[in-house]
Amino acid sequence: MKHGTVVGVLLFAFFPLYMMLNISFKSNAQYYSNSVGVTLPLHTENWGRAWQIVHEYLPNSLLVSISSTLLGVVGALCGAYFFARLRMPGARILWALLVILLMMPTISNLVPLFVLLKNLNLLNTLTALILVGAATMQALSIFILRDFVANIPNDLFEAAEIDGASHFQQFWNIVVPLSGPIAGTIAVNGFLQSWNEFMLGLVVIRDTDLWTVTIGLLRLDGEYLKEWGTLMAGYCISSIPVIILFVFTMRLFIRGMTEGAVKG
Amino acid sequence: MKGQNISLRQARYHLSIYLFLLPCALFIGMFAYYPAVNGIYHSFFQWNGGDVDRFHGAQSYSKLFLADTEFWLAFKNALILGIANIFKMAPSIVTAVCLHRVRNARLQFVYRVAFVVPMVIPILVTTYLWKAIYDPSNGALNTILQSTGLMKALVWISSSAAHLSENFDPLGFFSWLGALFRAGENPAWLGTPSLAMLALILRDFPWVGTFGVLVYLAVLQSIPRDIYEAAEVDGAGWLSKFRYIELPMILRQVRIMMILVIMGSINDAGLVMAMFGIEGGPGGVVQVPALFMYREAFQNQNLGYACAIGVVMFAVILICTKLNDWLVKPGD
Amino acid sequence: MKPVESRPTGFWRRISERFNSQRNANGNGAPADDGQRRVNRIAVALVAGTFLWSLSHVLLRQRIDETAHPVLSLAHWQLEPGIRTGMETMARRYNAMRRSRGLPEVIFKQYPISEKAYGQWVTTQLIGGTAPDLIEMGIGLPAATWVNYRGRYFVPLTQEIMRPNPYNAGTPLENVPWKETFLDGLGNPISELQEYYDIGLSAFGQRIFFNQALLKKLTAKLASEGKIPAALDEPPGDLRAFLKLCDQIMELKDERGRNYMSLAGSKYQMGFMVKQIIDPLTMELLDKVDLNHSADASSEETFFAARMGRLKFSDPQVLRIAAIWKEIAKRFQPGWNGLDRNDAVQLFVRQQCLFFATGSWDASTLKVQAESSETPFPVGIAKFPVISPNDPEWGEFGWGPTYEKPATAFPFGIPSQSNNRELALDFLRFITTRENNQILNDEIEWIPVIKGAEPKPLLRAFQPTFEGMYRGWNLELGSRTKTFTDQIEPLMEIGEDDKGRSFTILDWAEHMDTEWVDAAARDFEKRDEDERDGLQTKNALAAVLRAKMLLAAPENRDFHTRHYFGYASVPLEANKNIALWQAWLRETAPAKKGAQP
């Protein structure tokens, strides 16, 4: 019975994936007549058209997501070290501020954020997306990472201190290597979030050659007579980098989630 | 927070650690805090995002509390959705337990890999899918209901509820139920005011989130083997094992997630907007507070008012968190 | 604990010992095996490589040198491909013209933004100061918001349109003021601002599209059953007969056992039926609503009339109109309210429904879709049915067809913050010559808007009716009234509210009499404030024009003088309206405090 449940759930979970692939090979007429089954002939030109549209946006998306994830993880790791290593004066207040930040509705920030970006002359640049993406990642990441750093036994740190290591050396030699799996999980999450994010980009980026893949696909969505095949092919193409990412970080999800997730 | 308290005097020796705060302080301070504070500041203004910036005190707040009943109705909607979402966590838990119990280690590994794969699917794709399913004339839901005769059962439930409501109608529930399904009609899930909320709640059947399953699985796998063995020695069947060993662990995690779930339903406008559009469904029935704020900001250009709404939403969430802490702490 | 200054040599060894033991204790799976380490290295290499590739791509992307070639950017929400290619053709012709005159070519950028995001995009671009040089106006935001934006952010073109279009030289339209070269003379200025801001490029009409083959087949079937006299080639022109036919069609089933639908509906389609069939019925209300005797009903007049009690939604006449409205809504397929344009089009293309109300902008798309579907079918175009004066129940409204203005649409405005205002204006002039407008509209398959240009044969059916009825009320004063009507009209049309309780026409009238008037009051206040805010911008612009006039070189002084006085005299006109509003405010004030019936 347990196998039955699990397999059943998996079927439902894979259904959208199947549909995405299936529809990407249909022409509109095929889609109307039979949306669920596989229809022949397979219209591979949908993928060609989707690639035409999407390939300009891929470098943008990749740049933004990778950069913001890297910056986010580095910033969060440093911040977690600060909060977890020693209870410095003032840390309590800062921590409370951080927790409060987690609860703020982000939508109302959109306009002041926009005005801020305008004043910094960052409108219509990818840098804006990178910086804001990194900032958004921070709160939750610091939360999780702090617990993790706090769980590293103190003796390691104390030993290093005795041997004369500065805080930076302690950080670099102890925290960073140990944090591999958990930082990886956070990085993957951050990457996914940044990849799928479009609200800010829609508002900040005006030049079409700076659009990210998600925004570009939204444009396809708005077409009057939706070309379902091309649309789904576009989404498939945009999922490919994510799939590659998952292949490499599979281990993390299978094992690395034991850290941090339970305590969190 | 671990470690000993560093007093101000000792802090001298650890000053370099403050440097670690710099990157994240910069990011968060500039891109998260400043806009938030700016938002609070502007909530006392009449602002259109550009040149109009008039101070008018607490007018936005008084308007919100006295004149805009729509907003508080939106909170009711968020509450309903939040509670529904909490119940929707159950299938994930059940699946995690089933997965945990699988004895064959290789098979379990295969399953786990399989659970990771669907995370690749973009959210918009599932939205399209569900909109197509809810389509009244061609959608899968109505087709299935009609062909399996479930439709008739639902119509019967509705008509009996309608009769019942004439005598006994707590909270108007029975009259609502009575009007839901009528004979011979294809219910319009996204177009009928009474069905819209139901459609939103029922979305994503069977309500198993793959990420959630993996998190619960991690929780379950941290339970040491000996407890299981002890239980077996005591002759516990699978149900008791579940109730006494696994459930408490999971419930702890659930309590932590609960506040996040309710916060999410108040803060998130994207889901409702994707399914229903910016007015929040027919008659505005599925408006959530975040959608209301988004509309005020970007359609009605009342940015100062929207900022005030944001502050109020934040206050409500703060209260909820405090409540959650107060309710959860003793049991933990 | 004070850190020791020196660094003993055993430091690294001890650290790595403790550290490795820690790792193994944590069960962290340090990459103990080479295979895993190799995978990790590949991953890192992949990430680094991708990052460098995308970085180089982004940085080396051709950054256009804006000093040599001016850049003209244009934003619209028309995502049909014909528009984009049409605009590109125009750009090519424009550059060819510039080349021939020795002017540098223009680099042309189009920003097609989807309809759903358009309002928000325009708002943020205008606020952020990054707006393109030409923006398509009128969609994505309530009409009142567009009025505000025009006053605040856009360049008034009133003076420019009074002068002839230089590109018309050599044609019969040579000395005709630019305004008059348009079919409708560009209509009236934006009434609240008393200025022109939009230049339109196409005209549109609305009709009912129908599936010719299906109509013949179904009516033949009905005729064989004796329900109607004979098979039809066209839908009936009488509203009652039309609705009856819809009912009969909805009883028929197709091969899959599903009922046919008569009117393909969505929120969008409902708007058309209301505008074309219902609004003209309100013309009788004109004498109650038209307070300034301008023979049209503006939204403010509607509001004041309602507040004065002259216009009551619970009036039996209005209720009768609403009853007809509801009758039409009944013939839409169930669930119409949850669908959007695309879904309704799908129903039509899949041959599940017979009639589809939309505008000429969809004509070619529908034809193409119909012809390329699995079972191709011809698409017919018919006028909206009207009420006959002999109708037993509705005869009082049988005054004939709706008046159709050959209205210029597909309008573009120029934001004042743009750096290429003159260039944008020049481009607009260029594409509104008869020849170019014809070429543009031929490519898009829309109706051209300059006198003398002919639409394609497909679009001839959209010849406007110049004599007919028009609406006697305008219920959209601003964002609150729009939201209110958007929320309450479906309730009335469907017949029930969110609790499933019935929501009748009387309920609708009651809500309109009370809540709509309140919403309208708040919208009016906001509009008032916005106009006062806009006054600052107008004054600033007037100051600039005055400065230009005073500092102009002698040969230009005449032009600048005319420009300044032409502009500065306009507020005097606007003041007339303000006096009227204030009079009505005074007149209606006591009624506000008294009890509302």
Spell out the SS3 assignment of C435-496.
Answer: HHHHHHHHHHCCECCECCCCCCHHHHHHCCCCCCECCCCCCCCCHHHHHHHHHHHHHHHHCE
Q: Which one of B188, B203, B220 terminates a domain?
A: B188
Q: Is A211 found in the same domain as A153? A: yes
Q: How far is CA C503 from CA C313, C489, C516, C533, in A?
A: 15, 10, 16, 40
- What does the alpha-carbon distance between residue C456 and residue C442 come to, in Å, rounded to a whole number? 7
Q: Does C369 touch chain A (CB under 8 A)?
A: yes
User: What are the per-10-residue average pLDDT scores of chain C (597 residues)?
Assistant: 39 55 49 66 83 84 66 85 87 92 88 78 79 89 80 85 86 86 81 79 87 87 83 85 87 80 82 82 84 79 85 87 87 75 79 85 81 83 86 83 80 89 92 91 88 83 80 81 81 72 84 88 78 68 80 81 73 60 72 43
Q: Which one of B154, B188, B222 terminates a domain?
A: B188
Q: Is B220 found in the same domain as B156? A: no
pTM listed for this prediction: 0.74
Q: Is A14 found in the same domain as A66? A: no
Rounded to 5 degrees, φ, ψ at A78 are: -60, -45
Task: Find the angle CA(B319)-CA(B64)-CA(B52) to the nearest 5 degrees.
Answer: 120
Q: In the sheet that C206-211 helps form, which strands lie side by side, from edge to edge?
A: C261-263, C353-359, C206-211, C379-382
pLDDT, residue C415, reads 92
Highest mean pLDDT among A55-69, B147-161, B245-259: A55-69
- Please indicate, yes or no, if residue B142 is contained in any of the structural domains: yes
- What does the alpha-carbon distance between residue C379 and residue A66 come to, in Å, rounded to a whole number? 51
pLDDT, residue C2, reads 36
- Of the candidates C152, C339, C498, which has its C-beta nearest B194's C-beta? C498
pLDDT tens readout for residues B72-122 = 888 888 888 888 888 888 888 888 888 887 777 788 778 888 888 888 888
Q: Does A33 touch chain C (CB under 8 A)?
A: yes
Spell out which residues of chain A touch residue B11, defining contact as CB-CB under 8 Å: 88-89
Q: Is B240 found in the same domain as B199? A: yes
Spell out the SS3 assignment of A165-204.
Answer: CCHHHHHHHHHHHHCHHHHHHHHHHHHHHHHHCCHHHHHH
pLDDT, residue C93, reads 93
Question: Does the pLDDT value for residue A263 go beyond 60?
Answer: no
Spell out which residues of chain C touch residue A163, defining contact as CB-CB under 8 Å: 4, 7-8, 10-11, 14-15
User: Residue A115's closest chain C neighbor by CA?
Assistant: C128
Q: Is B273 found in the same domain as B156? A: no
Structure tokens of C512? Answer: 């309109």
Q: Is B274 found in the same domain as B164? A: no
Q: Does C20 touch chain A (CB under 8 A)?
A: no
Give the rounded distance of the alpha carbon of B240 from its chain centre.
30
CA distance A12 to chain C (A): 25
CA distance B156 to chain A (A): 29
Q: Is A136 found in the same domain as A84? A: yes
Q: Which chains touch B (3 or more CB pairs under 8 A)?
A: A, C
Cβ within 8 Å of A, C 36-95: 36, 39, 42-43, 46-47, 50-51, 53-55, 57-58, 61, 77, 79-80
Q: Is B197 found in the same domain as B90? A: yes
Q: Is B299 found in the same domain as B277? A: yes
Nearest to C386 by CA among C397, C370, C378: C397
- What does the alpha-carbon distance between residue B55 and residue A124 come to, in Å, rounded to a whole number? 30
- What does the alpha-carbon distance between residue C358 and residue C366 come to, in Å, rounded to a whole number? 10
Q: How far is CA B260 from CA A133, B72, B86, B321, B324, in A?
A: 21, 20, 10, 9, 10
Spell out which residues of chain A touch residue B34, defining contact as CB-CB under 8 Å: 112, 116
Q: Is B156 found in the same domain as B126? A: no
Q: Is A152 found in the same domain as A225? A: yes
pLDDT tens readout for residues B20-45 = 888 888 888 888 888 888 888 888 88
Q: Is A57 found in the same domain as A21? A: no
Q: Does C3 touch chain A (CB under 8 A)?
A: yes
Spell out which residues of chain B touch residue C2, defining contact as CB-CB under 8 Å: 13
The band of A65, judged by pLDDT with boundaries at 50, 70 and 90, is very high
Helix B34-42 vs helix A110-119: angle between axes, to the nearest 10 degrees? 110
> For residue C140, with 0-12 CB atoms within 10 Å meaning exposed, 13-18 middle and 19 or more buried, which class applies?
buried
CA distance B71 to chain A (A): 15
Q: Is A121 found in the same domain as A30? A: no
Structure tokens of C166? Answer: 């230089």
Is the CB of B179 less than 8 angstroms away from the CB of C498?
no
pLDDT, residue B6, reads 62
Q: Distance from first CA to last CA of chain A, Å, rounded?
A: 32
pLDDT, residue C96, reads 93
- What does the alpha-carbon distance between residue C231 and residue C237 come to, in Å, rounded to a whole number? 15
pLDDT, residue A256, reads 44
Q: Is A76 found in the same domain as A142? A: yes
Q: In the sheet that C134-136 helps form, which strands lie side by side, from edge to edge?
A: C107-112, C71-76, C134-136, C408-413, C199-203
Residue C354 DSSP code: E
CA dihedral defined by B105, B111, B114, B118, rounded to 10 degrees?
Answer: -140
Q: Is A26 found in the same domain as A154? A: no
* CATH code of the domain covering residue A145: 1.10.3720.10
Q: Is B118 found in the same domain as B242? A: yes
Q: Is B197 found in the same domain as B93? A: yes
Is the CB of A136 less than 8 angstroms away from the CB of B32?
yes
pLDDT, residue C595, reads 42
Spell out which residues of chain C touch residue B197, defining contact as CB-CB under 8 Å: 498
- Please indicate, yes or no, if residue B101 is contained in any of the structural domains: yes
Q: Is A230 found in the same domain as A169? A: yes
Buried b (16+ CB within 10 A) or exposed e, C3-38: eeeeeeeebeeebeebbeebbeebebebeeeeeeee
Q: Which one of B122, B154, B188 terminates a domain?
A: B188
Q: Is the dihedral of CA B141, B144, B146, B150 positive or negative?
A: negative
Spell out which residues of chain A touch residue C20, defining contact as CB-CB under 8 Å: none
Spell out which residues of chain A touch residue C17, defining contact as CB-CB under 8 Å: none
Q: Is B211 found in the same domain as B85? A: yes
Rounded to 5 degrees, φ, ψ at A123 are: -65, 150
Q: Does C15 touch chain A (CB under 8 A)?
A: yes
Cis peptide before C597 (omega within 30 of 0): no
CA distance B208 to chain C (A): 26
β-strands B53-55, B45-47 pairing: antiparallel
Spell out which residues of chain C touch residue B176, defining contact as CB-CB under 8 Å: 499-500
Question: Does the pLDDT value for residue A68 go beyond 90?
Answer: yes
ipTM for this prediction: 0.77
- Of the candidates A86, A113, A262, which has its C-beta nearest B31's C-beta? A113
- What does the alpha-carbon distance between residue C306 and residue C514 come to, in Å, rounded to a whole number? 9
pLDDT, residue B3, reads 55
Q: Which chains touch C (3 or more CB pairs under 8 A)?
A: A, B
- Please indicate, yes or no, if residue B60 is contained in any of the structural domains: no
Q: Count CA atoms closer than 13 A to B195's CA, side-chain side.
A: 23
- Please indicate, yes or no, if residue B58 is contained in any of the structural domains: no
Q: Count CA atoms closer than 13 A to C584's CA, side-chain side.
A: 22
- Of the candidates A62, A164, A177, which has its C-beta nearest C5's C-beta? A164
> Which structural domain, as residue segments, surrounds residue B143?
136-188
> Which structural domain, as residue segments, surrounds residue A24?
1-43
Query: Residue C578: how many CB atoms within 10 A of its CB?
Result: 13
User: Residue B194's closest chain C neighbor by CA?
Assistant: C498
Question: Does the pLDDT value for residue B327 go beyond 80?
Answer: no
Is the CB of B187 less than 8 angstroms away from the CB of C335?
yes
Number of domain units in chain B:
2
Q: Is A145 found in the same domain as A34? A: no
Q: Is A118 found in the same domain as A6? A: no
Number of domain units in chain A:
2
- Please indicate, yes or no, if residue B98 is contained in any of the structural domains: yes
pLDDT averaged over chain B? 77
* CATH code of the domain covering residue B303: 1.10.3720.10
- Please indicate, yes or no, if residue B154 is contained in any of the structural domains: yes
- What does the alpha-carbon distance between residue C193 and residue B52 come to, in Å, rounded to a whole number? 18
Q: Is A157 found in the same domain as A224? A: yes
Is the CB of A2 less than 8 angstroms away from the CB of B101?
yes
- How much is the average pLDDT of B261-283? 75
- What does the alpha-carbon distance between residue B245 and residue C334 come to, in Å, rounded to a whole number? 50
Is the CB of C347 less than 8 angstroms away from the CB of B196?
no
Spell out which residues of chain B touch residue A138, defining contact as CB-CB under 8 Å: 24, 27-28, 32
Beta carbons of C183 and C451 less than 8 angstroms apart: yes
pLDDT averaged over chain A? 80
pLDDT, residue C592, reads 46
Nearest to B182 by CA among B192, B169, B171: B192
pLDDT, residue B182, reads 65
pLDDT tens readout for residues B138-197 = 777 887 887 787 877 887 887 777 777 777 766 666 766 766 776 556 777 777 777 788
CA distance B271 to chain A (A): 13
Q: Is B290 found in the same domain as B217? A: yes
User: Residue C54's closest chain A neighbor by CA?
Assistant: A59
Spell out which residues of chain A touch residue B111, defining contact as CB-CB under 8 Å: 6, 10
Structure tokens of C100? Answer: 């021939």
CA distance A260 to chain B (A): 10
Q: Is B294 found in the same domain as B167? A: no
pLDDT tens readout for residues B151-168 = 778 878 877 777 777 777
pLDDT, residue C297, reads 81
Is the CB of B293 less than 8 angstroms away from the CB of A107?
yes
Q: Is the dihedral of CA C377, C381, C386, C390 positive or negative?
A: negative
Spell out which residues of chain C touch residue A223, defining contact as CB-CB under 8 Å: 79-80, 114
CA distance A256 to chain B (A): 9
Q: Which chains touch A (3 or more CB pairs under 8 A)?
A: B, C
